[in-house]
């Protein structure tokens, strides 16, 4: 049986590399690709009837608008459909944008497929609520695990959740997927799913703590507990992933933008539950026990000296 606790720092390497890659791509892309829902602004879908260069369209919009609007341009489900996002603008500028495209690509009014808008204050409110609800969920999880198990378990579970969220954020930075309310839904789904795996492992650790043999160390007991629950964790994760992978394969781009981070987040949740939360808990527990034993020895020696 492989000693997981002994190799705990090696298991941190994979999440660390993903997060570092996310930071690098975050800088390269100039930040997250915030959708209109988060940053405020307008979102236009235009049928171009031909393949187009994103930068060329963005430069055209900036050149032809009075306020030199800075636009982000992407392809939609159809490679000939342009998805254009800009900061909040008035109706005149919206018309200028579409007229510039009409003149350049010989479009008709029917080629403006959709226009949606959100104010900057609405975007800020969405971001504030997303942060609030996430923190609230984590606090509730922290309290629940601290009551059911112990405070060390609660802290390690929350650290594992934080790693999962960082990995998901890194995936958004790496793939440049639009950051919108799908991110909130995916993040909260992963938080709930991964904490379930962590609780199952900690529950087995609690049971095995009661029946731990005198010559069995905490690390050995935790190692045994993880392997006893690993089959259940892997099977439930695979079952869930089969469904989400099919959704990703068959879905349109908006569904794929939700499913991909969810796939990565669920994998990360299983990984951190098995290899990080439990192993670092064991190390922390053993350190505390050694410190208490050393303190007890000092008190005993002090009494003898008296």
pLDDT-based confidence at 12, cuts 50/70/90?
Answer: very high
pLDDT score at 134: 81
Are 84 and 176 contained in the same domain? no
Q: Specify if 217 maps to a domain.
A: yes
What are phi and psi for residue 29, nearest 5 degrees? Answer: -80, -5
In a domain, 108, yes or no: yes
- Both 135 and 275 in one domain: the answer is yes
Q: What is the pLDDT of residue 68?
A: 64
The predicted pLDDT at position 119 comes to 72
| φ, ψ for residue 176, nearest 5 deg | 60, 30
182 shares a domain with 99 = no
Q: Is residue 2 in some structural domain?
A: no
- Confidence check: pLDDT of 20 > 90: yes
Identify the CATH number of the domain in which residue 206 sits.
1.20.1640.10
Number of domains in the chain: 2
Same domain, 181 and 54: no
Same domain, 25 and 56: no
**Whole-number percent of the chain with pLDDT over 90:** 29
pLDDT given for residue 148 in this prediction: 84
pLDDT for residue 244: 93
Residue 1 is assigned to a structural domain of this protein: no
**Domain limit, last residue, from 118, 145, 164:** 118
Shared-domain flag, residues 76 and 221: no
The last residue of a domain, from among 96, 118, 140: 118
Q: Are residues 18 and 63 in the same domain?
A: no
pLDDT tens for 170-224 read 999 999 888 888 888 888 888 888 888 899 999 999 899 888 887 888 888 999 9
Q: Does some domain include residue 163?
A: yes
Contact 98, 44 (CB under 8 A): yes
Q: In this structure, are 24 and 168 located in the same domain? A: yes
* Same structural domain, 105 and 192: no
What mean pLDDT do residues 81-98 have?
Answer: 83
Instruction: Provide the CATH number for the domain around residue 86.
Output: 3.30.70
Domain that holds residue 290: 8-31+122-302
Pair (171, 250) in one structural domain: yes
- What are the tens digits of pLDDT across the range 226-261? 999 999 999 999 999 999 999 999 887 778 888 999
The answer to whether residue 24 scores a pLDDT higher than 80 is yes
Digit-coded pLDDT (tens) for 30-46:
888 887 777 778 888 88
State residue 66's pLDDT score.
Answer: 63
Q: Between the ranges 112-126, 203-217, 290-304, where is the mean pLDDT highest?
A: 203-217
Question: Where among 118, 153, 182 does a domain terminate?
Answer: 118
Q: What is the mean pLDDT of the chain?
A: 85
- Is residue 276 domain-resident? yes
pLDDT at 49 over 70: yes
> Per-residue pLDDT for 88 more than 80?
no
The verdict on residue 141 lying in a domain is yes
- My answer on whether 129 and 113 are in the same domain is no
Kindly state whether residues 148 and 253 are assigned to the same domain: yes
Higher-confidence position of 27 and 60: 27
pLDDT at 227: 92
Q: Please say whether the beta carbons of 51 and 32 come within 8 A.
A: no
Residue 3 lies in a domain: no
pLDDT at residue 21 is higher than 90: yes
State residue 70's pLDDT score: 67
């Amino acid at each position: 049986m492989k000693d997981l606790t002994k190799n705990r720092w090696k298991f941190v390497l994979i999440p660390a590399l993903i997060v570092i890659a996310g930071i690098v791509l975050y800088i390269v892309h100039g930040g997250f690709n915030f959708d209109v829902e988060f940053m405020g602004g307008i979102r236009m879908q235009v049928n171009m009837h031909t393949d187009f260069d994103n930068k060329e369209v963005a430069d055209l919009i900036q050149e032809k608008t009075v306020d030199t609007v800075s636009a982000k341009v992407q392809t939609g489900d159809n490679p000939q459909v342009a998805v254009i996002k800009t900061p909040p603008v008035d109706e005149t500028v919206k018309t200028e944008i579409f007229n510039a495209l009409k003149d350049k690509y010989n479009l008709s009014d029917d080629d403006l497929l959709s226009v949606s808008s959100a104010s900057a204050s609405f975007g800020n409110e969405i971001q504030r609520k997303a942060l609030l609800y996430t923190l609230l969920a984590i606090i509730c999880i922290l309290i629940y695990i601290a009551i059911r198990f112990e405070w060390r378990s609660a802290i390690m579970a929350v650290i594992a959740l934080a790693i999962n969220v960082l990995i998901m954020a890194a995936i958004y930075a790496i793939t440049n997927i639009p950051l919108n309310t799908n991110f909130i839904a995916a993040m909260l789904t992963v938080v709930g799913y991964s904490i379930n795996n962590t609780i199952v492992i900690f529950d087995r650790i609690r049971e095995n703590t009661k029946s731990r043999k005198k010559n069995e160390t905490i690390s050995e007991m935790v190692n045994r507990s993880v392997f006893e629950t690993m089959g259940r964790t892997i099977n439930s994760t695979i079952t869930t992933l089969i469904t989400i992978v099919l959704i990703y394969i068959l879905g349109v781009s908006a569904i794929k933008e939700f499913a991909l981070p969810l796939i990565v987040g669920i994998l990360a949740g299983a990984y951190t539950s098995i290899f990080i939360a439990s192993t670092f808990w064991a190390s922390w527990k053993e350190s505390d026990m050694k410190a208490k034993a050393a303190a007890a020895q000092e008190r005993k020696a002090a009494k003898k000296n008296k």
